[in-house]
Amino acid sequence: MILLVLLHKGKGGGLSDMFGGGFSSNFGGSSVVERNLDRLTIITGTIWFVCIIALGLLMKP
């Protein structure tokens, strides 16, 4: 999950600018790869959230 978030382009003004992400975000718009990465990150986050809730319910005494 952390890797997927770090793969995203910086939108400016954040931590990514400190590491050079702001420079590369000025080139081009939203590509197919970026949209697929967004979808993959959202799906992975949702599955992760559901697993955490399920484990919390299963571990309840």
Rounded distance, CA 5 to CA 16, Å?
11
Q: How confident is the model at residue 12 (pLDDT cuts 50, 70, 90)?
A: low
Q: Which among 12, 16, 8, 6 is positioned nearest to 37, based on CA atoms?
A: 8
State if pTM tops 0.75. Answer: no
Confirm if 20 and 9 have CB atoms less than 8 A apart: no
Rounded distance, CA 59 to CA 61, Å?
6
What mean pLDDT is predicted for residues 32-52? 92
